[in-house]
Amino acid sequence: MAKTIANQKTKTTAKSPKFVSIQEAINAGDGKTVSIRGWVYRERGSNKFKFVVLRDSSNIIQCIFDRKDFEKSWEEIDQLQVECSLHLTGTISKDERAPTGFELHVTKYELIGKSDSYPITKDQSVEFLADNRHLWLRSRRMTSILKIRSTVFGAIDEYFKGEGFYEYHSPIFQAVQCEGGAELFSVDYFGKKDVFLGQTWQLYAEPAIFALEKIYTISPSFRAEKSKTSRHLTEYWHAEMEMAWADFDDIMDHGEKLLKHIVKTVLATNFEELKLLERDISKLKPIVEKPFIRMTYDDALKILKDKCKMKVEWGKDLRTIEEEELTKLYDVPVICTRYPKKVKAFYMTEDPKNPDVVLGCDFLAPEGYGEIIGGSHREADLEKVKQRLIDDGEDPIEYEFYLDTRRYGSVPHGGFGMGVERVVRWICGLENIKDAIPFPRTMERYKP
């Protein structure tokens, strides 16, 4: 941990100049005088000069203090440490050797907040960075991911609003399960024990399509999955949609169009961030340009056997390793459909042509990233839904409110859920889902 500087105060200026972002300062170009503010990203000094690379949310720039201009305050300047916050005014000049091609020759400065010696230095362990997540967020890597994440959230809203969906919200405290009882977090709700954190909005969304017809949300979901994989969080952001009068193809079409819109928007907005993350953009272009691959579960088993030498017994769900190998064969997501009924949730419509499979779809991202969307058409037959709840060990009485959706003017409908961090992980090309969210919650970590 950092040592403490006694009585550290944050100064405020009486009259501040008009600040521009570092990127705007760079754009202003050679010879322009600008005022910028930010944090010291790197520093080094000599007897004559102090070099500070200043960072703000937009970019970094090298700033030079010439001792002869600052003789009186040289001691303070000489001691500037990484993460001090500063106001700087100076002249921009082009310099090929500077990290972003430009430098600021400082004419005026103000130290706003001192910094203790910063605990994050080069080559630290993953654990150390996780313990210091609140500080690691300032890294250029995390800043880039968080910008892309922000673009993704915006693009989801934009897509659904553009398609005439209403934004709608479900409760997080719920008394039903939807995606498997074993993965519920229970909450002590004033002494009551049958309250859980929502795994999905779905059972509270279906009742609302009778009012709004087309709805979507972006909300946290919770899964008590005992999985320590690179794609499981216990708390994640879930973008979900539900739609009245929809057939199975409508659901898949929206999933495909949504993903295309997200990737297209990120490519148009976050070129610099993708570059900083060393993401191979040529891997993302096909997502926008080419149709996704649609195949049934039966097709997937055949391809796995023929091309990947992997034998999956019919009736078993696809495991991570099988999804990985399957998706490595394509440069666009695979939409896998018609899974065996017994591996999928109780609400999925039985395929009219084959009651052993359901009209459910998983979108599997390429390059081995695996499932990013899960969706389905919803079973309309009240008795079938009830029976499948019983088969899952549930008491249909608890689901009465939900079963009313099948009693009063039921219509064909369906929807899907997209794991936003899974999409961010894939787009950014991250090794682990943990870096796709500011403060990841996993089986092992719930602090800081």
Q: Which residues bind ligand 4AD (CB under 6 A)?
A: 178-179, 199-200, 202, 223, 225, 232-233, 236, 238, 240, 371-375, 415-419, 421-422
With CB cut-offs between 5 and 8 Å by kind, which of Mg ion, ligand 4AD, none does residue 179 bind? ligand 4AD
- Residue 178 CB, nearest approach to Mg ion (Å): 11
Are 114 and 10 in contact, with CB atoms under 8 Å apart?
no
Residue 419 found at the interface with Mg ion (CB under 5 A):
no
With CB cut-offs between 5 and 8 Å by kind, which of ligand 4AD, Mg ion, none does residue 223 bind? ligand 4AD
Place of tokens 């052993």: 356
d(CA 218, CA 215): 11
Tokens of 360: 């459910």
> In terms of CB distance, is 100 or 227 closer to ligand 4AD?
227
> In terms of CB distance, is 198 or 374 closer to Mg ion?
374
With CB cut-offs between 5 and 8 Å by kind, which of Mg ion, ligand 4AD, none does residue 366 bind? none
- Residue 99 CB, nearest approach to Mg ion (Å): 43
Are 358 and 338 in contact, with CB atoms under 8 Å apart?
yes
Residue nearest to Mg ion as judged by C-beta position? 374
- Residue 362 CB, nearest approach to Mg ion (Å): 6
d(CA 443, CA 170): 25
> In terms of CB distance, is 106 or 205 closer to ligand 4AD?
205
Distances (CA, A) of 323 to 311, 328, 366: 13, 9, 9
d(CA 148, CA 266): 7
Are 260 and 252 in contact, with CB atoms under 8 Å apart?
no
d(CA 383, CA 406): 9
With CB cut-offs between 5 and 8 Å by kind, which of ligand 4AD, Mg ion, none does residue 255 bind? none
Distances (CA, A) of 285 to 110, 154, 261, 324, 447: 45, 20, 12, 20, 37
The distance of Cα 196 from the centroid of its chain, to the nearest Å, equals 23
With CB cut-offs between 5 and 8 Å by kind, which of ligand 4AD, Mg ion, none does residue 419 bind? ligand 4AD
What secondary structure letter does DSSP report for 98? Answer: S
> In terms of CB distance, is 69 or 247 closer to ligand 4AD?
247
> In terms of CB distance, is 179 or 350 closer to ligand 4AD?
179
- Residue 295 CB, nearest approach to ligand 4AD (Å): 17
Residue nearest to ligand 4AD as judged by C-beta position? 374
In angstroms, how far apart are the furthest CA atoms of the chain?
86
Are 392 and 346 in contact, with CB atoms under 8 Å apart?
yes
> In terms of CB distance, is 39 or 339 closer to ligand 4AD?
339
- Residue 232 CB, nearest approach to ligand 4AD (Å): 4
With CB cut-offs between 5 and 8 Å by kind, which of Mg ion, ligand 4AD, none does residue 202 bind? ligand 4AD
Per CB under 5 A, contacts with Mg ion among 346-385 are 374
> In terms of CB distance, is 170 or 202 closer to Mg ion?
202
- Residue 4 CB, nearest approach to ligand 4AD (Å): 37
Pairing of strands 214-222, 192-197: unpaired
- Residue 376 CB, nearest approach to ligand 4AD (Å): 6
Tokens of 227: 């999985």
- Residue 363 CB, nearest approach to Mg ion (Å): 10
Place of tokens 């969080």: 233
> In terms of CB distance, is 38 or 360 closer to Mg ion?
360
Q: 378: which strand partners?
A: 348
- Residue 398 CB, nearest approach to Mg ion (Å): 22
List phi, psi (to 5°) of 372. -120, -20
With CB cut-offs between 5 and 8 Å by kind, which of Mg ion, ligand 4AD, none does residue 304 bind? none
Residues in binding contact with Mg ion, number by CB under 5 A: 1
Are 19 and 13 in contact, with CB atoms under 8 Å apart?
no
> In terms of CB distance, is 418 or 428 closer to Mg ion?
418
Neighbours of 71 (CB within 10 A): 7
Residues in contact with Mg ion by CB under 5 A are 374
